[in-house]
Amino acid sequence: MNMLCEKCGGAMEVRREGSTQGLYCTQCDWAVVTTVFPEIKKDMTQYEVRVTQGDVHNDGQIKAVASAAGVNFLAARRLLGEREPLVYSGRAIKVLEVKNSLESAGLTCVISPAFIYS
């Protein structure tokens, strides 16, 4: 679809930057934009992240748990020794960050309620 600028007749291009997207003229300063928020940012559900498998002797895993849970190294080691410890509770956007961090450290986690974002 070729759209033309209402102001100068120049070609329009689609741009997406952060939460803003729109049509921008390639020749003048005319644009039409809107704000778009991804579903994950609008999700107000409180999720729980639990570690299901980890190694209390693996410093990288302990540090990942410490960061997610907001505790020090020793407290994180104790948490990791528990059966399916709760390491984070919060909204989807942060849960995704925590999940990725834990998985990068080699930890296995479960999120409830069901987490649809990857």
| pLDDT interval class at 6 (50, 70, 90) | very high
Please report the domains of the chain, with CATH numbers, ordered by start residue.
1-36 (no CATH), 41-112 (3.30.1390.10)
- Please check the confidence at residue 79 and state whether its pLDDT lies above 70: yes
Determine what percent of the chain is predicted with pLDDT higher than 70: 99
Residue-level pLDDT at 1: 62
Q: Which two tokens stand for residue 104?
A: 């990068």
Q: What does the pLDDT look like over 49-66, one tens digit per residue?
A: 999 999 999 999 999 999
Q: For residue 20, what are the CA distances in angstroms to 15, 32, 39, 84, 108? A: 8, 10, 14, 39, 35
The CB-side HSE value for 101 (13 A sphere, CA atoms) comes to: 19
- CA-closest candidate to residue 24, choices 6, 37, 43, 50: 6
Burial pattern 15-24, b for ≥16 Cβ within 10 A else e, equals eeeeeeebbb
Mean pLDDT of 83-106: 98
